[in-house]
Structure 1
C-alpha cells in the first residue's frame, strides 16, 4: 500500500531525501566514469542505485521526490537501451561506437546533474516539474 507522504513529517521527508542523494551519488560516480577516459566505474554501483530506486519509489508516492525516483529509473533504463542498440557500432566500426557511447554517457551525466540540482532545491524534476 502506498501512502501519500505527509510533507509535514520532516523525518520521513529527510529520510527519502537521504536515499535520493545516495542514489544520485552512485549514478554520478558511474556517469563520470563513463565520460572520463580510463575511469571506469562498476556496473554494480549502477545496479545498486537502480534497486534502491525501485524499492523506495513507492515510499515517495505523492511527494515531490517521486519524480526523482522515476527520473533516475528512466535515465538508467534509457541509457541501457541506447547502449545495447548502439553496441553493433563497436563491432562494425570502432569510432562511431565510441562517439555514440560518448554522447549517451554525456546525456546520462546531464540527467543526473539536472536531477541533483532539482533535489538540492527540494523541487520535482522532469516534465512535471
Structure 2
C-alpha cells in the first residue's frame, strides 16, 4: 500500500544514532585497552562526526547530554594522549601506563554512558564535564 508511511519519532531516531555512536566508541575503547586489538581511528572519527552532527537535533531532549558526553570523552582522551605522548619518547613503561590509564578511563565513560542511555536517563550535569 503506497500510503503506508512509517515514521520514526525523533526521540527514537536520536536513540538509534546514539547507540550507533556508543557502539563505535566501545569498539575503539576496547581496542585501546586490549593489546593487539587496536581498532581504527576511523571508527572513532565516524562516531565523533555522528555526535557533532546529531547533537543539535537532540537539543531540548534528555539525549543531548549523551551526545555532549561522548564528544567530551573523545576530546579529553585526545588531549590526555597528546599531553602524555612525550612519556613514550623518553620512558617507554610510564608512557604505556599513562596511555593504559587513559584508555581505561575512556572505556569507563563509554560504558557508563551506555548504561544510562539504556535506562533512558540523561547524563547528570556533573557527569558531562
Q: 1:35 aligns with which of 33, 36, 48?
A: 33
Paired residues of 1:71 and 1:126 also in contact (CA < 8 A): no
Distance 1:39 1:117 in 2: 23
Give the number of equivalent residue pairs: 121
Task: State the match for 1:64 in structure 2.
Answer: 62
Shift of 1:127: 2.9
Which secondary structure does the structure 2 equivalent of 1:13 belong to?
A: helix
Return 5+ residue gaps in structure 1 as ranges: 1-8
RMSD: 1.4
Task: State the match for 2:123 in structure 1.
Answer: 125
Moved over 2 A (4+): 126-129
TM-score, scaled to structure 2: 0.90
Task: State the match for 2:85 in structure 1.
Answer: 87
Residues 92-115 of structure 1 show CA distances to partners (whole Å, capped at 9, x for unaligned) of 000000000000000000000000
Which secondary structure does the structure 1 equivalent of 2:125 belong to?
A: coil
Q: Does 1:101 align with 2:99?
A: yes
TM-score, scaled to structure 1: 0.90
Task: State the match for 1:75 in structure 2.
Answer: 73
Distance 1:101 1:126 in 2: 27
Question: Highest CA radius of gyration, 1 or 2?
Answer: 2
